[in-house]
Amino acid sequence: MRVIAGSARRIQLNSLEGDATRPTLDRYKETLFNTMQTYIPGSYFIDVFAGTGAIGIEALSRGAARAVFIENNKKALAVINENLEKTHLKENAEVIGSDAISALMRLEKDGPADVIFIDPPYNRGLELQTLKLLGDSCLAGEDTLVVVEASNNTELSEFEGLGFNIIKTKDYRTNRHIFFTKEV
């Protein structure tokens, strides 16, 4: 797992042993960032269920002004901090060791983010809980791009009525990225 582009390009990132996290494969990450590329420069980026921090670090490397990493696994938090040190991107990063809902509620005072990336453990309904909170939150403004990484068997109809429009989906072998904007 490495940083694909930007100031930290080619730097290998540390990962966790075992299956506590699912790092996004480099080829999927490249497709993801090609889709988000106009949102990233100068952005306020939130990486929810951050795991190793690879997505938020990629955003910082590509020019995000600020990235917040939300993760509640203590070992994953240590890896995020190691990766931020390794890439020299810690200055523009904030790492929050908390559950997603509590952390997002705490961040509401910061106003809308430009991009919110949500990659929870699959098939537990956590993406729905997170989107429901964001639907009523000022963290997701009318110009905010929200991206959910979910398993391929996640039904898109589950996201109806949460205050978001699906603007694009990208399916891979085992998972998918779903791109949302807030209903206005």
184 inside domain: no
Strand order in the sheet with 66-71: 93-97, 66-71, 44-48, 113-118, 140-151, 175-182, 164-171
Whole-number pLDDT of residue 168? 95
The domain of 64 spans: 26-178
Domain count, the chain: 1
Proportion of the chain above pLDDT 90, given as a percent: 74
- Could you tell me the CATH number of the domain that includes residue 111? 3.40.50.150
18 inside domain: no
7 inside domain: no
Proportion of the chain above pLDDT 70, given as a percent: 95
* E-assigned strand segments in the chain: 44-48, 66-71, 93-97, 113-118, 140-151, 164-171, 175-182
14 inside domain: no
Q: Supply the DSSP symbol for 12.
A: B
Q: Quick one: three-class SS letters along 16-29? A: CCCCCCCCCCHHHH
16 inside domain: no
Flag whether pLDDT at 65 surpasses 60: yes
Per-residue pLDDT reduced to its tens digit, 23-34: 666 778 888 999
Give the angle subtended at the CA of 151 by the CAs of 67 and 51, to the nearest 5°: 30
Contacts of 170 (CB under 8 A, 6+ apart): 31, 32, 35, 176, 177, 179
d(CA 104, CA 23): 22
10 against 22, higher pLDDT: 10
Whole-number pLDDT of residue 176? 93
